[in-house]
Structure 1
Amino acid sequence: MKISNRDIKIFFLGFLTLFIIETIYDWDSTVGSIKRGYHDGYNFESDTNSAKAK
């Protein structure tokens, strides 16, 4: 069985479609996760320094 270029394109198109549908369907959770991740990443250095001081 040979995997063609068309098969790969269809696979990634399906993956992208499911990602978009899931993002739209659960929009509130998606936005909350993005904000939480940004906040945690932005304050990573200050959190690390305060943990070392303890």
Structure 2
Amino acid sequence: MVAMMDIGPTPSWSSATVTSSRLRPVPLAPGFEGGQIQCGMPALEGAIERVRLSRSSA
């Protein structure tokens, strides 16, 4: 699985698997509304501390 995140004025994320040739973009703007985000962060090394994947369905 490959995951990409775009954090900008309209944040979104996409994911794809090795067998899938299409990305499925998911808008995140409604999720951040009212979150009182004061400052952003550039895409620097170490910005993501940990990613955990599991095969279980939520």
TM-score (norm 2): 0.27
Which structure's residues are more often strand, by fraction?
2
> Over alpha carbons, which structure has the higher Rg?
1
Higher RCO (Cα < 8 Å, 6 or more apart): 2
